[in-house]
Structures are given as structure tokens and as C-alpha cells.
Structure 1
Amino acid sequence: MILGLDIAQFTALHVAISLVAIATGIVVMLAFASGRVRVRFLTGLFLVTTAATTITGFLFPIRAITPALITGIVSTPVLAVAFIAVYRYRLKGRARAIYAVSASLALYLNLLAFVTQAFLKVPSLHALAPQGTETPFLAAQLATLAAMIALGIRTFSVARRTAA
């Protein structure tokens, strides 16, 4: 039992939170990249649900150091920086660029886990890459990375331009 839920229920909660984080993160980052620096409610929802995804990830039984655990460890300070840029510095000056980088990285880490879990749990994807080292899995991860690098660069350049 985790937070009064059995493991299946807790996993469903964790996944639901993660999907909200990913959806709002994509909307927020696309808005940021188009020059709409802040979508107030969605920015907060993105940050809170991404943090909740990380926190709930740490509540699963830890038996060994895994890529998921390392992702959570990396995500924690990245999210802290994004929260500080938004709520302490109100995205003023350099905080915009700092937020652009940290939010892009936080979204990428969530997407990395999403793609990995999709290949593990969705039967048709798992059939394409049962070991997680096959070309379809690597192509999906590379496409995700490339898309997030492009989005991150765009949000960073918009942030620098609008901060000046």
C-alpha cells in the first residue's frame, strides 16, 4: 500500500498525474516558444503536476538504482530551478531564460519516461522493441530528444529576446 492505495491504483494515479504534466507542459512550452511568455494557470499546473510525478515516483518501492530513479533525482533540482524562476523571480530578466531551459528539461525527462513506459506497457510497441534497445525504441527516444532540443532552443531564444 502506498498512500492508502494498492500498487495498481497508485500506479494509475502516478500515470494520470504524469499525463496531465506532459499535456500541460507541451501547451506551456509551445506558448512560451511563440512569445506568450506565461500562461499563468497552465504554467502552475505543469510545474505542480511535474513535481507530483517526481514525488510519486519516489514513493514506489526502491529495490535498486534504476534509470527511473536517476531520472527522478535529476528532475528534482531541475524543477526547483523552474519553480524559483517563476515564483521567486516572476520570469523577470534572466529568469525567463533559466525557466525556458529548466522547464524544457523537466518536460523532456517526463517524456523520456513516457516513451520508455509506452514501449514497456503497450503490447504493440513492446513487440517492436522487447529489449528496449531495438531501433524503434531508439528512434522514438531520439525523435523525442530532437523535438525537445528544438523546442528548448526556441523557448530559450524567445526568453532571451523578451527579457532584453
Structure 2
Amino acid sequence: MVLGLSLATFTLVHVGISLIGIVSGIVVLYRMVAFRPIVGWNELFLVTTILTSVTGFLFPFHGFGPAHILGVLSLLVLAIALYALYPRHLSGAWRPLYAAAAALALYFNVFVAVAQAFGKIPALTALAPTQSEPPFVIAQVAVLVLLAAGGFLAQRRFARA
């Protein structure tokens, strides 16, 4: 039981929150690149991405592993994004910093989603049972390249808005 929910139900809630965070993060990234307002979308993205990291720490675990390190890094990046957005109001250098932090937080979320997909979806697990095989590496490199490019464009274009 986690927060009064069975582990299976808690996992579904965690995954649902994560997927909302990923989709809203993609919308935020796109809107920054396209010079469109992010109001509303960025709040949804930040809240769900923070909840994703926080709920990730609530799963039963033994020891402190790579997933926990990534969760801590994600929360640190999200703290920068929150600070840039709210107390600093995206003024000056805080605007491109927010774009970079949002893109990095989205990358962390998608990175974990790809790893989980390869670990839980039988067809993907068959392709990369140890997550060191080429299909897994290609998927993770593709995610990195796409989100790094999107983050770079967002950081540059959103900064000029």
C-alpha cells in the first residue's frame, strides 16, 4: 500500500500523472519554439512533473539508486524553473533559463518513460532485455537529440519573446 492505494493502483496514478506531464511538456516546448503563450500549459507541466518526481520516491525500494538520483536532479531543475517563472517573472536571463530548465525536466521525464516502456512492454523488452541493446540506445539517443534540439530552439526563441 502506498498512500492508502494498492501498489498497482498507485502505479497507475503515477503513470497517468507522468503521461500528463510529458504531453503538457511537449506542448510547452512547442509553444516556446513557436512564440505562442505558455500560460496555463506551463503550470500543468510543472505541477504534474513535480508530482511525477515526488510520487516516484514513494515506491517501495531498497537503497538509493539511479532513479532516485534522476528524481533529485529533476526536482532541482524544476525548482529553477519555478523560481524563474514566479519570483523572477521570466525577466532578463531568467526567461531562457526557464526554457532550458523546462526542456531538461521534460527530457528526464521522457527518459524514464522510455526506460520503463522497455522494461514493462513485452515487445520492447524482447528487443532490449538488458536495456543496453541497440534498440534501447537508439530510442534514448533519439529522445536526447529531439529534446535537446527543441530545448535549444525554445531557449533561443523564447528568450527573444
Report TM bin, short chain. over 0.9
Give the deviation of 1:20 after TM superposition.
0.1
Give the deviation of 1:91 after TM superposition.
1.4
Give the deviation of 1:144 after TM superposition.
0.3
SS in structure 1 of the partner of residue 89 of structure 2: coil
Give the deviation of 1:78 after TM superposition.
0.4
The residue aligned with 1:15 is 15
Give the deviation of 1:66 after TM superposition.
2.1
Aligned residue type for 1:128: L
Paired residue total? 161
Aligned residue type for 2:29: M
Give the deviation of 1:34 after TM superposition.
1.1
The residue aligned with 2:151 is 152
Aligned residue type for 1:137: F
Give the deviation of 1:39 after TM superposition.
1.8
Structure 2, unmatched stretches of 5+, are none
Give the deviation of 1:62 after TM superposition.
2.6
Aligned residue type for 1:33: V
Aligned residue type for 2:20: V
The residue aligned with 2:92 is 93
CA distance in 1, matches of 2:11, 2:159: 39
CA distance in 2, matches of 1:128, 1:66: 24
The residue aligned with 1:55 is 54
Aligned residue type for 2:127: L
Percent identity for Structure 1 against Structure 2: 46
SS in structure 2 of the partner of residue 149 of structure 1: helix
The residue aligned with 2:105 is 106
Structure 1, unmatched stretches of 5+, are none
CA distance in 2, matches of 1:99, 1:24: 15
More helix by share: 1
The residue aligned with 2:77 is 78
The 10-residue stretch of structure 1 (27-36 or 131-140) with the greater mean CA deviation from structure 2: 27-36
CA distance in 2, matches of 1:140, 1:85: 31
- What TM-score do the two structures reach when normalised by structure 1? 0.95
Aligned residue type for 1:126: T
Give the deviation of 1:115 after TM superposition.
0.3
SS in structure 2 of the partner of residue 65 of structure 1: coil
The residue aligned with 1:4 is 4
CA distance in 2, matches of 1:127, 1:64: 28
CA distance in 2, matches of 1:120, 1:64: 20
1:133 is the counterpart of 2:132: yes
CA distance in 1, matches of 2:50, 2:103: 14
